[in-house]
Amino acid sequence: MAGETTTTSLNDIVYSAWIDASLIDYAYDWVVAQQFFDSSRDLIGKPGGSIQIPTVTSNMGTVGANGAGVDTEFDTSEATDLAATQLATSNVTISVSEYGLNRELTDDVEEDSINGLDLMNRIMQDASRVLMTAIEYSCLSLFGAATNTVGSTGVDLTIAQMLAAHEGIRTRGYHAPDGVVYVLDDQQKADIDTATLATGTTFLTYGGMAMGLLGVSPTANNGMGNGHVFNFRGYPVYATGLGPTANVGADVTGGCFIPATRGNSAAGHVSFARVEKRLMRMEPDRDASKRTSEAVFTTRVGVGALVDGSTTGIITDAP
């Protein structure tokens, strides 16, 4: 029989699915790097669109130069006048950029949606996430600009390069009492997974030494909530697919750096800073003849490197 009354015949009045008021947050765990930036400074209410942070120029050469700069320069003899040594400064300048998003809603959307007030709240939350993600991309872009890097173009990331990334920071003379942090591209994380599994086949010989050296351990949720995928030599490793590519798309970028913590900040070698000039704000604008309402979201934020040598860029083969 073909005369039954069904949901298909009454599809104009019968819901095929209930539309839930909640929306999926598509950018949930993309923001991983900027939580480790020094955000103790701001430009809110201050003139100018950049901040200049002074640094003291070293009189002692560089660490790892086997005493060059201090072996004879500051030796003295009895009853001999000391020559004056000039104290000089330099500076790091971080410029502010504006980030913005415009959502324009018709009156019908506001009046006929699942819940007009709830929809606007979600639009505000989403705008905050979008702008934070844009700022995160600027943060990740700093890794590729680091002077010191490991990796080879077109070649997968190796365990030896992971080790060299943080060892380079130490041997360059930068202190991190609270340790360093890695932020890798998703492909780089996959490279290390593969390399660690391959290395595991040799653990029958000197297995304890190898495991102690690498110190690879999983996290409680393996990065499914906040991007923290595993620990390497005791240091947290985060992964993201948001980072920029390098070498005309042939490679991906990651970084190992000194995060802003109480102990690391006291040592003075925190790698990056994040400076706010304008907190995120929402400004409405009504177009009566068009019957639409705009919600414009903007913020002004600057990110930059505080201490270049305390970062190791990681540049390796793209997928």
Please give the pLDDT value at position 1. 44
Please give the pLDDT value at position 207. 56
pTM (2 decimals)?
A: 0.86
Please give the pLDDT value at position 224. 86
Q: CA gyration radius for the chain?
A: 26
Please give the pLDDT value at position 7. 63
Q: Is the dihedral of CA 20, 119, 32, 242 positive or negative?
A: positive
* Nearest in space to 182 (alpha carbons), one of 245, 264, 238, 265: 238
Q: Each residue of 24-62: b (16+ CB within 10 Å) or e?
A: eeeeebbbbbbbbbbbeebbeeeeeeebeeeeeeeeeee
Please give the pLDDT value at position 226. 87
What letter would DSSP give residue 38? B
Domains of the chain and CATH, by start: 34-54+91-317 (3.90.1690)
φ and ψ at residue 18, rounded to 5 degrees: -80, 130
22, with CB counted inside 10 A (0-12, 13-18, 19+), is exposed
Please give the pLDDT value at position 239. 96
* Nearest in space to 155 (alpha carbons), one of 318, 26, 14: 318
Per residue in 176-203, pLDDT tens?
999 999 999 999 999 998 887 776 555 4
* Regions of the chain short of the pLDDT cut 50: 1, 5, 203
Q: Which residues contact 125 (CB under 8 A, 6 or more apart)?
A: none
